[in-house]
Structure 1
Amino acid sequence: MSVSEAATLADVLRLQGQIRGDATALVFEGHSTSFRTLDRHSNAVANGLMALGVQRHERVAYLGKNSDIFIELLFGAIKAGVVMAPVNWRLAGPEIAFIVEDCKAAILFVGPEFVEQVRDLQSQLPGVRFFMTTEGGASEWQDFRSWRDAQNDRDPDTPLGKNEVAIQLYTSGTTGKPKGAMLSHDNFLSLLRIAEQDTPDWNKWTEDDVSLVAMPIFHIGGVGWAVYGLYHGAKSVIAREFDPTKVLDFFERFGISKLFLVPAAMQFIVRQPRARQVGFSRLRYILYGASPVPAGLVEGSIPVFRCGLLEMERQDEA
């Protein structure tokens, strides 16, 4: 079976674990993870979730910035038939509590920046059965890596259908409370396959491509782009959060060839004086979207990046 024939996102990672094997899948703050290791780690996460009694179709939530651990958690949840619900870490405490309780999260995985905030919110989260830190910082809660490494890393081989929910993303709640948008495996894979039709130049990927995941993973522009890179077997460099200076560092260090940005992020980079000194020789395309494009931004970006620019509309709901 080829990746283009995969029925679920779990199949995508399994296949890339075999096809790409020891090739680098993720790079995060000096740590590299191969496709094979990512596949194995996600198996351990899946088995660990089931050992904790998390049932099929239950939700687990993630409150943290971008990291390689989130990708392990996402695919581990998928392989267990469990649904990941990443939470917008920019929200105020009551809004975070609302989302975690609304999705009925059995487990809340907490990034290091938010341990104290979640401690303060615990009384407002009666439905959460387990709290776990992704990078330590709370002795009363289990640490993710020690928990993961104690699990069996054999594939649980949980039966999954293409129409089952793969992830639950929350809208911004501009007209009321945030609403959970449930995206199926087919939502992701159909979009990827449509993009492959006639293989437009912007969607030609090679084993040498390096993708930058710089947008937040609680939004489709972040998590969707991360899945996009894994689907194509590319190396994905993960930025903990968007910082224009660090983005330029990533270009110099890793030779980024593709990335997705919102227009405001593009503008921040273009306005950096150093952007005219950084080599973008490997950059082939920037995909951008998710908000209106300011007048002149595209024209101003072309002489800086000297690459193809493609507007792409993405919605958490679709």
Structure 2
Amino acid sequence: MIGVEISIRDVTTGEELPPNNSGEIVARSRNNTRGYWRRDRETAELFTHDGFLRTGDAGHLDDEGYLFVTDRLKDMIITGGENVYPIEVESILAEHPSVAEVAVVGVPDKRWGESVTAVVKLVDGADVPSVDELIAFSTAKLASYKKPRQIHFVDSLPRNASGKLLKSSLRTMLNASGEAS
């Protein structure tokens, strides 16, 4: 976009990342907001030290400078110090023929910080795969720290009135059921 600088930053350090590395998408232009009215703390959190606006999105720039948005940062799971973007795990599990829909969230875990947890709605009439089968299916295509440690089957995934998936409701449901460890 003309007049807009895009940069990808390391989520932890804020350092600019080279092409094809995922991180936080930040943008700077003369059209950016200057901040929140009379809310200095929130304004400081909204911008990087060099004036880039934090979008709240995760993604990467390729070698030609094309931007790929992969997920929302608030949905990112940090497990054992590693960043896991749920969309990556979801896209792999969605390839399984018995999976109709899937959502991946992080739930608190004493050992790992967060545990990668999948909530799966099966295709009507499909053979019910075992949890071990789905984990093995994902392990073949994901780094070991990205594979789900827990999988739960549900009749439907929670959505709002406009059909948007409510991951916060899934986290609440899993925490209330004692799945967090």
Q: TM-score, normalised by structure 1?
A: 0.22
Q: RCO greater where, 1 or 2, for CA within 8 Å and sep 6 or more?
A: 1
Between structures 1 and 2, the one with greater strand share: 2
Which structure is higher in helix share? 1
